[in-house]
Chain A
């Protein structure tokens, strides 16, 4: 069977899978950004309980494998009376896992803001919350966006794992088609290309654009 025939027969299925993959991607990006902001800030708290909780969370999720976390959320949480749908379980596991990596990036970004900025805010008698919100946070974006962009591409790749907890995404469809037709080159090859195009033509340019935007916002635009 030629490749054109393959596409005309299974292209729609793969596209539908791609839509699910994008849905998982967008939901988990939102979740992981929120989580990394919260835990990044908690990690810098002076309160040892808050800081300890954040450290435990980060070490736990960075220390175990994403696949194990995913299966744990999907297969073990029901033991404790929490049954999540496959899609929700996938997004939650991805968000929690990447949130832990993101929190470290946020922490590093906050620490990288020049000390003079902290001192100036202190000298002007800003309250701690105002200092964070108006002075420090706006300046961290140019610092954290490049590593966050790498992390987001990793996230796109990691969304493939949700297929293993029965979310019908691109990987799931590719596997399904493979088991029916045994045209492995076509279906896995197409899936690889789709992931590549999403990363190369959509995700990375978008993140670069955000980086430029963030640099311009704080007046660091050399671009």
Chain B
């Protein structure tokens, strides 16, 4: 067998890989959308006045954050059918990623809300604004820019964790590479191409986020314009 890099083989599998890349992007996008919403629910749990709900919420977040995504995937994928809920691998994967990264995003949201100076709250109280009005017009517009870099980082994070979905059979990029590699018994090109595609997509994204972060910091006066 030819051991070196084979361009013809790489060209041959390229269309397959690109289609699978599309799936990966969809998986990351859907997972991220779910995570954004789940994060809000965990944030709500954190900010309710009830101490019991706070404590339970805290434990759940800690638990999800300190256990591996891989086993969580297996858990959801294998356990739900035992309770009569049969979901496709795609749905299981999206739920798990949404839940896992939702806990991370809730921390981002929390940090952003705490980043709004307390005096802003007090001023709203003094002006007799309602809580809803305070959030909508005063706090959230200030908290959102603080949350943007963290939110962006987790988008890239989710994107880089999508290969785990291949373990439960979601047909994303890594799954396609393994399939192609197994079929032709050549792993060099498929796996290398996966790496390159990931680099091409995530390095510019990470750079964009860093730029955004700088802009946000500048807008808040944390660093000065050079």
Q: Does A221 contact B (CB under 8 A)?
A: no
With known contacts A79-B188, A189-B75, A64–B195 Cβ distance under 8 A: yes
A65-B174, A196-B63 given as contacts; is B74 within 8 A of A188 (CB)?
A: yes
Q: Are B174 and A67 neighbours in the complex by a CB distance under 8 Å?
A: yes
Residues in A194-209 with C-beta less than 8 Å from chain B: 195-196, 199-200, 204
| Residue contact A175 to B199, C-beta cutoff 8 Å | no
Interface positions, chain A 150-197, Cβ under 8 Å from B, are 153, 156-161, 163-164, 171, 174-175, 178, 182, 184-185, 188-189, 191-192, 195-196
Interface string of B59-81 (1 = CB under 8 A from A): 00011011111111011001100
Q: Which of A62, A156, A184, A191 contacts B206 (CB 8 A)?
A: A62
Q: Is the CB of A175 within 8 A of B68?
A: no
Interface size on A, residues (CB 8 A): 40
Whole-angstrom CA separation of A61 from B133 in the bound complex: 45
B41 within 8 A of A: no
> Inside 8 A of A65's CB, which chain B residues have their CB?
160-163, 174, 194, 198
Task: Tell me the chain A residues, 54-95 only, with Cβ under 8 Å from chain B.
Answer: 59-60, 62-69, 71-72, 75-76, 79
| Complex A-B: 15 CB contacts under 8 Å | A63-B198, A63-B203, A64-B160, A65-B198, A67-B163, A67-B174, A68-B198, A69-B195, A153-B66, A156-B68, A157-B66, A160-B69, A161-B164, A178-B74, A200-B62
Residue of A nearest to B196 (CB): A64
| New A-B contacts (6) at CB < 8 Å, excluding given A60-B199, A184-B79 | A64-B195, A65-B162, A69-B195, A71-B191, A171-B71, A185-B82
Interface string of B193-205 (1 = CB under 8 A from A): 0110011001100
Given A75-B191, A184-B82, the answer on whether A171 and B206 have CB atoms closer than 8 Å is no
B167 CB contacts on chain A under 8 angstroms: 164
Also in contact, A160 and B68, with CB within 8 A (given A67-B174, A68-B163) = yes
- In the bound complex, do residue A195 and residue B79 qualify as a contact, i.e. CB atoms below 8 Å apart? no
When chains A and B are docked, how far (Å) is the Cα of A92 from the Cα of B96? 28
Docked CA distance A199–B195 (Å):
30
A161: nearest residue on chain B (CB-CB)?
B70
Contact (Cβ within 8 A) B71 A160:
yes
B52 at the A/B interface (Cβ < 8 Å)? no
Query: Could you say which of B71, B174, B178, B202 contacts A188, with CB atoms under 8 Å apart?
Result: B71
A198 to chain B minimum Cβ distance, whole angstroms, is 9
- Once A65-B160, A72-B195, A192-B71 are accepted as A-B contacts, the answer to whether A178 and B78 lie under 8 Å apart by CB is yes
Contacts of B85 in A (CB 8 A): none
Does B90 sit at the interface, judged by CB under 8 A?
A: no
B192 interface hit (Cβ, 8 Å):
yes
- Chain B residues within 8 Å of A192, by CB: 63, 67, 71-72, 75
Most central of A60, A67, A156, A171 by chain B CB within 10 Å: A67
A191 to B187, CA, bound (A): 31
Q: Determine if B195 and A196 form an interchain contact, defined as CB atoms under 8 angstroms apart.
A: no
